[in-house]
Structure 1
């Protein structure tokens, strides 16, 4: 696992894929924990084609030791740095019958513990009692996202499609893009592999065509302390699991 090459790929293109981070046995254990949780809480989002858990690591603390195995800790140290901590976590289950797609976009909001008016932060959103806000650009540029894939994922079951290098342009609208000049890549990931991406890279996903699930654990990392009185909603140290 040449982490230097992956780090360079993220800086240059905005994403990279590393397979083989979780063994088949480790993936099965993670899935078993998820399948046995109480889904009646409002934090869980259920529909005919999507099941999602916000604040995943906070809501299911017993999953942490399974997620942060030695290989993923090695990736975090080698690519981000051991000063990075978790700031957001979501579990997505795009079901076999899913007929929805996600248009190209950038991830522009962070999760915080409360709504406070702070210069440079805004606009605000609220989803299931979770506060989200768009922070200053330098905070967004600092974040890394790891997507842990619990299923083989390709263009037939909603793998992420990305526009390489688009993370280096700051915040802008899809209407500003010259689609005749852009190159699209599909983030194909094997079961047990991860995709690392910068939140400012333009990304989206297509409908599911092959009747296969696409279960993903989405975790965001930063090493920035937010301006008081704002605090990260899910801050967790990877190496000690302290909140």
Structure 2
């Protein structure tokens, strides 16, 4: 793995793709572990367009050792150093017939344990019984997300589209995107690879057009201590 290249891409572009973090056999074991879980939990959401598991690492605790392999932990330590821990995890399964898409946005909120008003933290929201707030900008700038791909993903089945370098523009509203200056890039990833991104990177996802499934494990990391009175909703070392 070319650590220097990936570090440069994360700093300058706001994302990088690292292939072959998991072997084909490891991907199959992860998929089997997910398919065997009891889907009656309130953390599970299923529609015709999407199956999702919120607080994935908590809802399916037996999956953690399959996700946090030595190869993944070494990769993240080399890229970001010590002190980071997982603060949010979601599993997405987008069927081949899905019309589900995501519009251009930044990930501006973090999941916390309670709804409370605290100076420096934006208005709280509640979605699916989970509380979220917009933290101070420096926390978002230091956080990172990994997206573990369990299927080959490209433009046809909803690979993330990103605007390279947009994470450097701080809060960047979709209505202010200057399409004369921006260049959209599709983050294609093979099964077993990961996409790493900064939460302030502007990103979106198209509907599926090639009838291929897309399964992704999304995990957010931070090393921040939050203000007195709130804590991370999901904190896994």
TM-score by length of 1: 0.96
Aligned: 1:139 with 2:139: yes
Q: What are the superposed Cα offsets for residues 179-218 of structure 1, whole Å, 9 maximum, x if unpaired?
A: 1221010000000000000010100011101111100000
Q: Tell me how far apart the structure 2 counterparts of residues 13 and 197 of structure 1 sit (CA, whole Å).
A: 9
Shift of 1:4: 2.1
Q: Tell me how far apart the structure 1 counterparts of residues 78 and 160 of structure 2 sit (CA, whole Å).
A: 24
User: Does the CA contact (< 8 Å) of 2:90 and 2:218 recur in 1?
Assistant: yes
Give unpaired runs (5+ residues) of structure 1. 238-243
- Detail structure 1 runs of 4+ shifted over 6 Å in the superposition: none
Shift of 1:120: 1.2
Which residue is equivalent to 1:163?
163
SS at 2:211's partner residue?
A: coil
Which residue is equivalent to 2:68?
68
Q: What are the superposed Cα offsets for residues 58-101 of structure 1, whole Å, 9 maximum, x if unpaired?
A: 11110000000111001110111121100100000111110122
Q: Tell me how far apart the structure 2 counterparts of residues 124 and 65 of structure 1 sit (CA, whole Å).
A: 32
User: Does the CA contact (< 8 Å) of 1:80 and 1:144 recur in 2?
Assistant: no
Aligned: 1:130 with 2:133: no
Q: Tell me how far apart the structure 2 counterparts of residues 125 and 216 of structure 1 sit (CA, whole Å).
A: 25
Q: Tell me how far apart the structure 2 counterparts of residues 172 and 2 of structure 1 sit (CA, whole Å).
A: 30
Q: Over aligned residues, Cα RMSD in angstroms?
A: 0.8
Shift of 1:129: 1.3
Q: Tell me how far apart the structure 1 counterparts of residues 133 and 230 of structure 2 sit (CA, whole Å).
A: 10
User: Does the CA contact (< 8 Å) of 2:149 and 2:192 recur in 1?
Assistant: yes
Q: Tell me how far apart the structure 1 counterparts of residues 98 and 210 of structure 2 sit (CA, whole Å).
A: 10
User: Does the CA contact (< 8 Å) of 2:115 and 2:125 recur in 1?
Assistant: no
Which residue is equivalent to 1:184?
184
Q: Tell me how far apart the structure 2 counterparts of residues 82 and 215 of structure 1 sit (CA, whole Å).
A: 28
Which residue is equivalent to 2:175?
175
User: Does the CA contact (< 8 Å) of 1:4 and 1:78 recur in 2?
Assistant: no
